[in-house]
Structure formats: C-alpha cells, structure tokens
C-alpha cells in the first residue's frame, strides 16, 4: 500500500520514482511486485525478513533495520523520515512501522497479533509528542464473530488431544513461514520430531529456530512408501505439509494402514466450519476445534488479532483515523465475510473517528463517525489482493 501522507510503500512494490519501500514480513501476499530483478528504490525490512527474502531472491538489495531503534532515512528534496520498528507478533520477522516526520506520525501495523508490549507504542516519543495522523490497520478478522483464543491455549489443547492418540503421524498444514512455534510445541510435548522439507528447514534456520527436533524429511509425504509411513507412525512424528497436499498426504497414509491425523491451524476455522457445515463440536476442546468429513481437525489458531484484540489495540493508542490494509470482502466464499458490520462495531467500540477502506475490486470509501461527514467515493488504493491473502498465511 502506498501511504497517503508520505512517499512510502509498504508490502507493495510496483511503484515508480522517489518512493521508499518497506516490507513488513515475508508472507507471499505481502511481496507483490518483488522479484529477483527488482530495483525500484531503497528497500527496508527487519533482519529476519531480509534473510528470508534473500533466500528467495539472493540478488535483492535490502537494508536490515533493528527493532526498537529510530532511523533517519532521506527522501527526495532534502526531506527525511524517521522510522521505528515494533515486533508485530505475527510470524518470525514481522514488524509494524512507525513513520514520523513533516507529516506527523503514522503507524502501519502490517499483519499482527496483539501482544501486551503493544501498549508501549503510545509512549514512544513520536506518538506521545504528535499523536497519530493515521493508523493503517490489519483488518483480516475485523468482525465480532472472530474470537480466536490465544495461540498458547490452542497449542496446549492440540498437544493434549494428540497425546492420547500417540504414537502416530500428525500432518500439520503450514505455509513456508509461520506456525514454527506450534510445530515445536507439539514436538516438545509429544517428545517427538518435526519433519520438514529442506526449504522449510532453511526458512526455520533463518528465523532462528535451530533445533535437533526439526529434521529434513527423507522424502515428500506424497512419495513416501508404505514401509516408511508405517515406521514413522510407530515412532510418531509431526509432519509439516502444504495446504494443497494435506488431504493427499492423509489419503496416502490411510492407504498404508498407519495411524495418522491431519490438522489445519487457522483463524478461519470457525468460518470454515459454518461454510462446510461441519458438525457442532461443543464437546471437543471447548469449541477450539471442528472436524470435517474428511477427518481434518480445524483448530482455531491464528497469527492475527481477534476482533476484541483489534478494539483493545486501538484503545491503547491516541484516537486517529484508520485505513484498513486489506479490502473489505463480501460474504461470498469460505474465506470471506461481509465486513460492513465489523466496520460499524469497530468504530463504536474503539471510538475510531473514521475508517477508510476499499471494497473489492476497486471502490474505496470512508466511513466516519462525524455527524455531517458523508461517505465519499475516492480513487482506488493500492492494496494487497484479498484473494491472495486467503492462501498465504492467514
Ligand atoms: Zn502474514
């Protein structure tokens, strides 16, 4: 998104001329426009995100910025901005950016999950002295229906359930980045190993997850022989697998006659349960999980804020207009919902003066709590594709 206040683009890399580029984290849907030949301007990221981007595109030139330190970066015409990085508590390397300068102070959250340290943002000098001109907010789950519990609670529920079924193969759906803490938690609690692809092992190493419990798989689970699957099931293992291969891996294991289970850990679990008409599971893990017809356990595990956490986060901060980072969807499809209700409730609950947002595909609106202000149409914003967001790390 290209910020309104200053020539800075965050997680969007197709702009030309005089723009500074920042990458909040290395999920695919935040890398739009980047490629190995990309040279459009200065690019900044946290040290971990830089490492992850260089694994993918070794020729990129990226400046690593430390968290908790103020940097002055020159713009054109002798102007400069200050930037300060804050841990976003989303995936390894993910950060929020606090930009300040002639335009005031602007907070760009990127994808984030609320952490108690986020209360300290209000006492950072640029916010304390100038307030906030605008907050660019992660709105992935901006609707009161999204009430995901803490990741620690869900991880504990998962390990508790599968300790009773141990040993077996537990296939855990995961992207190239994210869920590392969950995988290691399960390995620890079940005293087992996490099997990953070579690429995933490199990613985990770049994120600082060095552990003997993380081992490179001897082959892709879809290529595994009956013998191998049976051996692994009797030893017990956590096997990281891509979303598109989760069910295929389960079928393969089923054909071999070994003990196995499949887990999807996602904030969309509740939504998927409704859309796929899964049976009510009140008796299971206090509503943290639903089981689909094909035997996949859908756990309500999210790297994004619940609606309540979004409200709490905004209440920590000085009042400021908000711009949603992602377009607001309609209610079509499994990974979408009608965002209108959430916008109204967020404004009311967190006393937000206005929320600017775009609707798919191009329209952009502003809702405001000011009595005589009216909803106005504006030009389209540059933004991440919602369709991509659903497949990359939510
Ligand atoms: Zn993300």
Report how far ligand 1's centroid is from the alpha carbon of 361 (Å): 21
Report how far ligand 1's centroid is from the alpha carbon of 88 (Å): 10
Report how far ligand 1's centroid is from the alpha carbon of 393 (Å): 5
CB 83, CB 46: distance < 8 Å? no
Report how far ligand 1's centroid is from the alpha carbon of 304 (Å): 8
Lowest-pLDDT range, 150-164, 225-239, 256-270, 328-342? Answer: 328-342
Is pLDDT at 368 greater than 80 in this prediction? no
Report pLDDT for 221: 94
Lowest-pLDDT range, 5-9, 59-63, 127-131, 145-149? Answer: 145-149
Report how far ligand 1's centroid is from the alpha carbon of 138 (Å): 10
Is pLDDT at 383 greater than 70 in this prediction? no
Report how far ligand 1's centroid is from the alpha carbon of 187 (Å): 24
Q: What is the mean pLDDT of residues 126-155?
A: 95
Report how far ligand 1's centroid is from the alpha carbon of 91 (Å): 7
pTM: 0.89
Report pLDDT for 20: 96
Report how far ligand 1's centroid is from the alpha carbon of 318 (Å): 25
Report pLDDT for 336: 63
Q: What is the mean pLDDT of residues 230-237?
A: 97
Report how far ligand 1's centroid is from the alpha carbon of 3 (Å): 19
pLDDT digits (tens, 9 = 90+) for 73-129: 999 788 999 999 999 999 999 999 999 999 999 999 999 999 999 999 999 999 999
Report pLDDT for 372: 37
Q: Single out the residue of 185, 177, 178, 175 nearest to residue 153, CA to CA.
A: 185
- Cα-trace Rg, the chain: 22
Report how far ligand 1's centroid is from the alpha carbon of 27 (Å): 5
Kindly state the percentage of the chain with pLDDT values over 70: 85
Lowest-pLDDT range, 136-140, 206-210, 275-279, 326-330? Answer: 275-279
Report pLDDT for 17: 80
Helix-, strand-, coil-residue percentages of the chain, each rounded to 5:
30, 25, 45
- Helix H, strand E, coil C: the string for 74-136 is ECHHHCEEEEEEEECCCCCCCEEEEEEECCEEEEECCCCCCCHHHHHHHHCHHHHHHCCCEEE
Q: What is the mean pLDDT of residues 59-81?
A: 95
Report how far ligand 1's centroid is from the alpha carbon of 65 (Å): 19
Report pLDDT for 87: 98
Report how far ligand 1's centroid is from the alpha carbon of 12 (Å): 14
What are the residues whose beta carbons fall under 8 Å from the beta carbon of 113, sequence distance 6 or more?
A: 88, 89, 90, 151, 302, 303, 304, 305, 309
Report pLDDT for 310: 98
Report how far ligand 1's centroid is from the alpha carbon of 32 (Å): 13
Report pLDDT for 137: 98
Report pLDDT for 277: 54
Is pLDDT at 358 greater than 80 in this prediction? yes
Report how far ligand 1's centroid is from the alpha carbon of 314 (Å): 20
272 pLDDT tier (thresholds 50, 70, 90): low
Report pLDDT for 363: 56
Report which DSSP code applies to 167: S
Most confident of 59-73, 147-161, 331-345: 59-73
Give the length of the chain.
Answer: 394
Report how far ligand 1's centroid is from the alpha carbon of 394 (Å): 6
40 pLDDT tier (thresholds 50, 70, 90): very high
Report how far ligand 1's centroid is from the alpha carbon of 6 (Å): 24
Report how far ligand 1's centroid is from the alpha carbon of 376 (Å): 30
Report pLDDT for 321: 97
Report how far ligand 1's centroid is from the alpha carbon of 17 (Å): 27
Report how far ligand 1's centroid is from the alpha carbon of 77 (Å): 34
371 pLDDT tier (thresholds 50, 70, 90): very low
pLDDT digits (tens, 9 = 90+) for 23-37: 999 999 999 999 999
How far apart, in whole angstroms, are the C-alpha atoms of residue 369 and residue 345?
11
Q: How many alpha carbons fall within 13 Å on the CB side of residue 22?
A: 28
Q: Tokens for 62?
A: 């990226």
Report how far ligand 1's centroid is from the alpha carbon of 218 (Å): 29
Is pLDDT at 379 greater than 50 in this prediction? no
Report how far ligand 1's centroid is from the alpha carbon of 177 (Å): 9
350 pLDDT tier (thresholds 50, 70, 90): very high
């Amino acid at each position: 998104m290209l910020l309104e206040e200053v020539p800075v683009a965050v997680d969007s890399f197709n702009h030309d001329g005089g723009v500074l580029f920042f990458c909040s984290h290395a999920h695919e849907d935040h890398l739009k426009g980047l490629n190995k030949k990309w040279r459009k301007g200065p690019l900044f990221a946290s040290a971990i995100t830089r490492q992850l981007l260089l694994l993918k595109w070794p020729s990129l030139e990226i400046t690593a910025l430390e968290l908790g330190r103020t940097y002055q970066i020159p713009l054109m015409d002798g102007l400069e901005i200050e930037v300060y990085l804050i841990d976003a508590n989303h995936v390894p390397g993910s950060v929020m950016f606090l930009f300040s300068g002639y335009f005031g102070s602007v907070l760009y959250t990127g994808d984030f999950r609320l952490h108690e340290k986020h209360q300290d943002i209000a006492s950072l000098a640029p916010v304390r002295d100038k307030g906030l001109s605008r907050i660019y907010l992660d709105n992935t789950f901006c609707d009161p229906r999204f009430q995901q519990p803490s990741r620690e609670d869900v991880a504990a529920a998962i390990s508790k359930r599968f300790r009773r079924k141990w040993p077996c193969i537990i296939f855990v759906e995961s992207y190239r980045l994210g869920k590392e803490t969950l995988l290691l938690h399960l390995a620890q609690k079940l005293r087992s190993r996490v099997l990953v692809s070579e690429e995933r092992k490199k990613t985990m190493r770049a994120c600082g997850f060095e552990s003997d419990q993380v081992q490179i798989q001897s082959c892709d689970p879809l290529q595994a022989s009956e013998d191998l699957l049976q051996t692994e099931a009797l030893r017990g293992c956590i096997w990281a697998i891509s979303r598109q291969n989760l069910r295929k891996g389960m079928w393969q294991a089923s054909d071999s006659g070994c003990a196995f289970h499949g887990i999807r850990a996602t904030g969309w679990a509740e939504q998927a349960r409704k859309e796929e008409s899964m049976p009510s599971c009140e008796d299971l893990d206090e509503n943290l999980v639903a089981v689909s017809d094909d035997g996949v356990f859908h756990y309500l595990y999210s790297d994004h804020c619940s609606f309540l956490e979004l409200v709490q986060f905004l209440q920590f901060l000085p009042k400021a207009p908000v711009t949603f980072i992602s377009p607001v969807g309609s209610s079509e499809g499994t990974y979408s919902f009608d965002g209108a209700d959430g916008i109204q409730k967020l404004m009311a609950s967190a006393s937000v003066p206005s929320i600017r947002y775009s609707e798919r595909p191009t329209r952009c609106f502003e809702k405001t709590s000011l009595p005589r202000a009216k909803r106005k149409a504006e030009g389209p914003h540059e933004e991440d594709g919602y369709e991509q967001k659903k497949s990359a790390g939510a």
